[in-house]
A = this chain, B = another copy of it.
């Protein structure tokens, strides 16, 4: 059996690549899913494909709606959702993904540093694990799939 794992959240560091590389090295049978991680493109895809808007609101809505086609589909197909909160930006869409996945009873792994601990308490409370680094994620995936650490 192949596991489907969705990697939600922060798009400005290479944590997804790290996870993928390390998973491949130890032969974990995983299909990784992820949102579009090109920040500019995910901001502008709507107007690039569907035409310009004068108001920022509609500019953003067009893109957000396009991005949601991918995001909502892949979260629904995922067995496990890993959600990273980074250092920068509001990241409300990340918290939204966590709530969306929780309502569908998907197991959540939340990845963040200590600083954000209090602010993320509700999201952590809905998770199966709260981690601080990629190695912990790899260990959880390995343990979940292979029963070894």
Q: A residues within 8 Å of B by Cβ?
A: 1, 3, 31, 33, 36-38, 41, 45, 48-50, 54, 56-58, 60-73, 77, 79-80, 85, 89-105, 107, 109, 116-131, 136, 139-140, 143-145, 147-149
Contact = CB atoms under 8 A, between A and B. Distances in A.
Contacts of A91: 92
B38 A147 contact: yes
Contacts of A1: 31, 33, 77
A144 B92 contact: no
Contacts of A136: 49-50
B107 A64 contact: no
16 contacts: A37-B147, A41-B148, A49-B143, A50-B129, A56-B117, A57-B130, A60-B124, A66-B129, A90-B116, A92-B92, A92-B94, A92-B120, A94-B95, A95-B95, A99-B100, A103-B104
B147 A68 contact: no
A143 B33 CA distance: 14
A139 B63 CA distance: 13
Contacts of A98: 96, 99
